[in-house]
Structure 1
Amino acid sequence: MKAGEIEFLSYLEGSNKNFIILGSGYMKAGEIEFLSYLEGSNKNFIRLGSGYMKAGEIEFLSYLEGSNKNFIIPVYQRNYNWKKEQCKRLFDDLEDIINSGLRTHFLGSVVSIYGMGKEYLIIDGQQRVTTMSILLLAMCQIIRELGQSRGIITTEEQIKECYLINKHSRNEEGKIKLKPIVEDRKAYYGLFEEEINTNQNSNIVSNYLYFYNRIREDNISVDDLFDAIQKLIIVEIELKSGEDDPQLIFESLNSTGLDLSEADRVRNFVLMGRDSKAQEEFYNNYWYRIEKNTKNNVSSFIRDYLTIKERNIPNKNKVHVSFKRYVSDNDINIEYLLKDLLKFSNYYKEIFDSSTSNSEVNEVLKRVNKLEIFVSYPFLLELFDDYNENILSTDQLIEALNLVECFILRRIICDVPTNALNKIFMNLGREIKKSSDYRENYSQILKYTFINKKSSQRFPDDNEFSNAFETKDIYNTKSKNKLYLLERLENYNNKERVDLENLINDNTLNIEHIMPQTLTNKWKESLGENYKEIHNKYLHTIGNLTLTGYNSKLSNKTFEEKKEMESGFKDSRLYLNKYISAIEKWSEEEIKNRTKILLNRALEIWKYPSTIYEPPRNSENLFTLEDEDINFTNESIVSFSILGECHKVKNWTEFYEQAAFTLYDLDPVRFNNIIDRTYKRDIIDNNKSREVTKLRKGTKISDNIYLETNLNTEAKLNIIRFLLKEFDIELNEVVFSIK
């Protein structure tokens, strides 16, 4: 196989070359052998920007071979991620080479920047280079153990001194050729020790053991395996330091390895293109600490960070693109940005671990985290930043966190759909800070904002919450929510706190139906003639649920037996059993009475906010086009943003027209196709004669498209929703302000 670069015009030049137009580009078509396609004396270099990229075919072992060569995995690269699946595929290929007698086998490409002192910075191909080095080390171990007894010709020194170490290096740090990034380096270097620590939790050690065991179990000859490795071919792509743009090249490569995460791409964008010293400093001082603070959940963290900064939620698969645009649009200095990211990652750690310096704050955070509503994190991060900037006092922070907890729990009990939560928490900070007096009235404005949420964004009031609390099937709700609810009811204002979570997990306590799931004759008799109705209505509700320490096999016993038995209700010290232990029977009346007792406690725990705060006149509320269950007919729109651009408008017609203009400008051809394919002439007219007589009141979008504006508000909103979906744009990317 021969590979090389060529100037683009040289590629096009030549007789008998045919090009077929396909869409808006050119495609050359014709049958040709692949190697003939690559072959050619003029195929040496391709100009890329202001630099040159050199590429060529080379044996993989020749790539590794050479004195004082160092292969460095830059800090912007992800950790070594290959697992057994990829290693198995590689080893299977090597066995095929051995069995079939193939002369060569293509391993892939390796892209590196050649720097000073024979240093190769590998920007693509680290997974293959690292894996092959691990395999060679496993072979060395086999040779050490079996060389003499099996008559192996290949020597450990031959492999190590040619491909794995620089024998005569005076610098111990430079002796081992391959230098993985910080997290992997210790594990890789450990494979060179006489006593290898195989207990490390590392992909490097795990794959080393896989190769070692596979060679032994398959009874593969090390000599045959080495011969197969000698037949591996790579395309070596060498970039010129200081001239080629490694970021652009990296992003354009179609790697055959594991997909990069969004965080991997962000890290590459932040660190690539800088000298080695700057990369090390940025990685060690900022990025590494960000990874640790977020427990390597960097993609989600950056998505939350961008949500705060741009008041828009990036698509999960486009975090990297959104991040680059944010940096470019705001001309942000990268080191300043890394400092800010590190600051917010510290907040993230405190929130996620409930590890602030204040015990009361930590208690609320633990409860919020138990509910696992991670879409609240953008607002929680903003709260912590405001607290850090002394905008909030400690008491205000605790009050705000309690409000978030209460808001989430009430919505869970009332079965309010969760799909609105992400935009609620995206906008909360903005809604607070649009008021000029937010520093003085932060908590009151937050309460006012929560109270005035409508429809799918609502904060359920006491009536709605009470009705749901009394009738909801608590037993079959999510385990985490059920446990959270029982724990709060039990431990609220209780100085002798009960560790319900651990007691339930180790079966010391069990969630118990007082009236059992299967009624015996005695239970039917005690419930009365309406026992079926009572059973169906109350079985799984909070009034009939409690915690017990007795064996769950006894759950069908009568109420009297459950009460009097060892570890029964009478002996219980739990608050949840206080009422039960004082009564003589269990019927509908007792269930209703206990429900009321627990409801009153719940209304105290998850208190509905109240405030006398009134915002300044002409203040605005924020909504998105996802709020399809809200009727905006009698509301006054003030402004809206679409695709990150804000527009002031006087009415819904201006919104309708401006949104349509924006989408048309985005892609006129697509807009025309949508109109031709879907819409009736009485709404949007594709009029070739440029007449608008078919519309009652038409607005010109282009020379041949007119928009009917004589429609009610909801019709206009629905048309824009339809167009957005056709353009594959999320409805929550259109945010508008209502007076």
Structure 2
Amino acid sequence: MKATEAKLLDFLKKSPQFVIPIYQRIYSWKEKECQQLWDDIIRAGKNNNISAHFMGSVVYVEKGLYSVSSQSPLLVIDGQQRLTTITLLIAALVEVIGDQEPLEDFSAAKLRGYYLTNPLEGGEKFYKLILSQTDDRSLKAIINRMEQPDDMSIRVVENFEFFKSNLKKLGDLTSVCSGLAKLMVVDISLDREQDNPQLIFESMNSTGKELSQADLIRNYILMGLEPSYQTQLYEQYWRPMELAFGQQAYSDYFDSFMRHFLTVKTREIPKINEVYEVFKEYSRQSSVLNDGIDALVKDIKNYAVYFCAFALDKEKDKALKLAFKDLRELKVDVAYPFLLELYSDFSTRLLEHDEFVSIVRIIESYVFRRAICEIPTNSMNTTFARMGIGLKKDRYIESIKVSFLLLPSYRRFPRDDEFYRKIQTKDIYNFRSKSYWLRRMENFNRKERILVNEYTIEHIMPQADNKSEKLPQIWRSELGSDWARVWETYRHTLGNLTLTGYNSEYSNNSFAAKCEHEFGFKFSPLKMNEGISSEKRWDETAIIKRAKQLAEKAIYVWPAVTLSQDIMDAYKVQNEQTSEYSLEDHPYISVGKMAELFQQFRKTVLELDPCVTEEVKKLYVAFKAETNFVDVIPQAKRLRLSLNMPFADIDDPRGLCRDITHLGRWGNGDVEVGLDNPEDISYVMTLVTQAFERQIGAFE
């Protein structure tokens, strides 16, 4: 490695050409980064006390000895965002500067000949900077003052226009020219025989826009390969991925896609900022290494296509496209790893089309029912991340239904009775996806679909007077003496909400006026308005009646999963862990004082939640949710409890707990507490509950 401090303009002038390798990310600076660079340049240019402004490093590699005296193109390892942005600024300056020369060597001809082009060269060698794909075509169009291609680079063009606009507003260009002359970089050349570009690339902490996890992954895959092999893999697999996403979506979603991809492959959810590290571990597994780099990149590309289909509305099949749209409106990114696995099986015909649609609809019902029933969502990502484990893919639908039906209570698929009850009383007007549920209910079993976005939500009983924020007098009389309670209780609930294209015409008119209007409820073609006008008055009784009717319909729109008891029993038998031990194998808790104490404690633990189960081991009795949260080791004069949580996290005001983090003990966990008195059960249960709730909360 050779590092030299240099003036940026001198560095650009002496260098024959910079090439951005195909494995580098596309140009991604936005106006925020450009504005910061602009401000730095103007500040340096206007202040005579500032002799230089450091803007980072440029790391490059070439064949042979690495210095700017070489005539070989310089392959940029780090610094492409800054080089590209400065090039765009200089290109904008060439257009704006006209016949001026604010400072020596800052004429249009010199700027163009020194920093944008190699005037005596032809073909690709004519350009000082070669970008990749779409970016390159747009930059060349700017330099050559030609029309942009149809697939122009949004970032390149927008940032060029940003600088051009700023330069025109500036008027006197002396400050920007002076600022450019003061820019400094560290010129870092690498020797391929001695330096490891990948390690250097990872360790760089340059200014500007931080590399995404996906950027690091792409570079990790391609950087160490021979250029021809890089080009082959990029053009065959990576470039099609970029095109499938589109420019903006690739920047916005590729990181999250890679996280979902790794979740499918590892069955664990990587932390957002650790995706790259997890990918490196995954790529080094023997099974992945044996298949080779081609298979790995092809696999990523295939999964990217699946992701674009359901997450970015790229699906072609009509039924799947609609099902994916409904799921996206519920904003359930946590289900994406499972959808990737499903789509992969669908692509190989392991899963049939109708089965795939049915499973997506099951996921939709599960998510919507849980939201309506206000079940905490903190376990859903783990639910979906591990849903594929143990599926019997020769009986796909059945196996998935069983998986949902066997979920513990805090991850449960709400039953019809719970969903029916909750959807009637929930404030569904302020539900995060109200257009979604209205569209689904209106279009259920319709072949001629209604475009709900052309309508607005109508409160039959008005939500408020626009001026006074109070219920109009005519409606107070309609509702009777108890109007305030009825209004507060039901105004945003299912029974009082519908769709209309005449919201402003209805205003806060009386119920009769809303029904008899020229386009009132009585004449509405919408299913949501059926039966409203048949009511004589709109009061608590009418709202409750309609809520029940719509709730009955909702059960069919978002159906529960059901299977015969015979099938469920067969799966339960397979899933149940058989134990060769029973409580009788533990004499201390089979008879006597400790037996009574254990039974009291046991009853209290099992009542924590229906998901809690008991398993008798050889040396202890385990109580589980996802896994053991408390183990009971029977002793002659006490029950020794092992709580499965870090000692530092236990809240123990009485100081009964003992830290056994580094001690060998039966059971699981770092916290030990003894129980020898029934009067202490209540307090000990506060400790046990902490371990239980921590385990459930860990599945976020």
Residue of structure 1 in register with 2:500 after alignment: 548
* Inter-CA distance 309–659: structure 2 relative to 1 (3 Å threshold): farther
Indicate the residue corresponding to 1:257 in structure 2.
208
Quick one: which of 78, 93, 101 aligns to 2:25? 78
Report 1:580-659 matches (<5 A): 580-612=532-564, 613=567, 614-615=570-571, 617-619=573-575, 630=609, 634-636=613-615, 652=631
- The 5 A counterparts of 1:427-438 are 427-431=386-390, 433=391, 438=392
Q: Distance in 1 between matches of 2:545 and 2:89?
A: 71
Q: 2:490 & 2:319 partners in 1: Cα distance?
A: 36
Deviations 1:149-191 (A, max 9, x none): x897644333333332222224x12210201122311221112
The Cα shift of 1:682 comes to 4.7
1:391-410, Cα deviation, whole Å (9 max, x unpaired): 22222212211111111111
CA deviations on 1:347-381 (whole Å, 9 max, x unpaired) are: 11221255545422222222212222121111111
Could you tell me whether the CA contact under 8 Å between 2:103 and 2:177 is conserved in 1? no
Match of 1:380 in 2: 339
Find the partner of 1:488 among 440, 450, 461: 440
Report matched runs for 1:676-687 at 5 Å.
Answer: 682-685=656-659
> Structure 1 residue 71: deviation in Å?
0.4
| Superposition deviation, residue 136 in structure 1 | 2.2
**Residues 91 and 554 of structure 1: CA distance in aligned 2, closer, same or farther (over 3 Å):** closer
Inter-CA distance 396–104: structure 2 relative to 1 (3 Å threshold): closer
Structure 2 SS opposite 1:376? helix
Q: Is the 8 A contact 2:631 2:643 kept in 1?
A: no
Paired residue type of 1:588: E
Q: Quick one: distance in 2 between partners of 1:675 and 1:457?
A: 24
Residue equivalent to 2:665: 699
1:442 maps to 396
More deviation in 128-137 or 194-203? 194-203
Matched, 1:513 2:460: yes
Partner of 1:26: none
Q: TM-score, normalised by structure 1?
A: 0.76
Overall identity of the aligned pairs, in %:
32
2: distance between equivalents of 1:412 and 1:632? 20
The residue identity in structure 1 corresponding to 2:374 is: D
Identify unmatched segments of 5+ residues in structure 2.
65-70, 465-469, 578-606, 618-625, 634-640, 676-683
Extract unaligned runs of 5+ from structure 1. Answer: 1-52, 622-627, 639-646, 664-670, 693-697, 734-739
| TM-score (norm: length of structure 2) | 0.80
In the alignment, residue 371 of structure 2 is paired with which amino acid? Answer: I
Where does 1:179-578 land on structure 2 (aligned, <5 Å)?
179-195=130-146, 202-221=154-173, 225-226=176-177, 228-294=179-245, 295-296=249-250, 297-330=253-286, 331-332=288-289, 333-431=292-390, 433=391, 438-478=392-432, 480=433, 482-501=434-453, 503-504=454-455, 509-514=456-461, 517=464, 518-552=470-504, 554-578=506-530
CA offset digits 1:510-553 (Å, max 9, x no partner): 42334654544443333333333332332221111112233436
Are residues 292 and 653 of structure 1, via their aligned partners in 2, closer, same or farther at CA, if it must alter by over 3 Å? farther
Q: 1:49 matched to which residue of 2?
A: none
Please tell me whether the aligned partners of residues 489 and 602 of structure 1 are also in contact (alpha carbons under 8 angstroms).
yes
Partners of 1:113 and 1:239 within 8 A in 2: yes
Paired residue type of 1:188 = L
Counterpart of 1:708? Answer: 672
Distance 2:14 2:652 in 1: 65
Change (3 A) 1:61 1:246: same
Q: C-alpha separation between the residues in 2 aligned to 1:260 and 1:177?
A: 24
What is the deviation of 1:97? Answer: 3.9
Letter in 1 for 2:20: I
Does the residue aligned with 1:406 lie in a helix, a strand or coil?
Answer: helix
Give, in whole Å, the separation in 2 of the partners of 1:554 and 1:650.
58
Q: Residues 471-522 of structure 1: CA distance to partner in whole angstroms, max 9, x if unpaired?
A: 11112222x2x21211122111223321112x12xxxx44233465454444
Matches of 1:732 and 1:585, distance apart in 2: 49
Distance in 2 of aligned mates of 1:584 and 1:650: 58
**In structure 1, distance between residues paired with 2:193 and 2:517:** 82
Please give the per-residue CA displacement for 1:646-674, whole angstroms capped at 9, x wherever unaligned: x99999479x98978xx9xxxxxxx9xx5
Could you tell me whether the CA contact under 8 Å between 1:165 and 1:177 is conserved in 2?
yes
Q: Residue 637 of structure 1 contacts residue 652 of structure 1 at CA under 8 Å; is this kept in 2?
A: no
Alignment of 1:158 onto 2:110: yes
1:185/1:495 Cα in 2 relative to 1: closer, same or farther (>3 Å)? same
Is the Cα contact below 8 Å between 1:675 and 1:686 reproduced in 2?
Answer: no
Retained in 1: the 8 A contact 2:628–2:644?
A: no
Q: Is the 8 A contact 1:55 1:236 kept in 2?
A: yes
User: Aligned pair count?
Assistant: 622
Assess if the C-alpha contact under 8 Å between 1:699 and 1:709 holds in 2: no
Residue 97 of structure 1 contacts residue 105 of structure 1 at CA under 8 Å; is this kept in 2? no
Supply the distance in 1 between the matched residues of 2:190 and 2:616 (Cα, whole angstroms): 54
Q: Distance in 1 between matches of 2:39 and 2:489?
A: 61
Output the aligned Cα RMSD.
3.7
Does the CA contact (< 8 Å) of 1:112 and 1:122 recur in 2? yes
Give deviations 1:429-482, integer Å, cap 9, x for gaps.
114x2xxxx13322112112212222220111011111101111112222x2x2
Change (3 A) 1:540 1:629: farther
1:100 aligns with 48
Range that drifts further, 555-564 or 510-519: 510-519
Task: Tell me, yes or no, if the aligned pair for 2:630 and 2:642 is still in contact at 8 Å.
Answer: no
- Aligned partner of 1:36 in structure 2 is none
Give the 3-state SS of the residue equivalent to 2:665 in structure 1. Answer: strand
Q: Deviations over 1:273-328 (max 9, x none)?
A: 22222222222222222233343111111111111111111111111111111112
Instruction: Quote the offset at 1:557 in angstroms.
Output: 1.8
Q: Is the 8 A contact 1:55 1:237 kept in 2?
A: yes
- In the alignment, the residues of structure 2 paired with residue 519 and residue 212 of structure 1 have an alpha-carbon distance, to the nearest angstrom, of 55
In 2, Cα distance between the equivalents of 1:721 and 1:392? 37
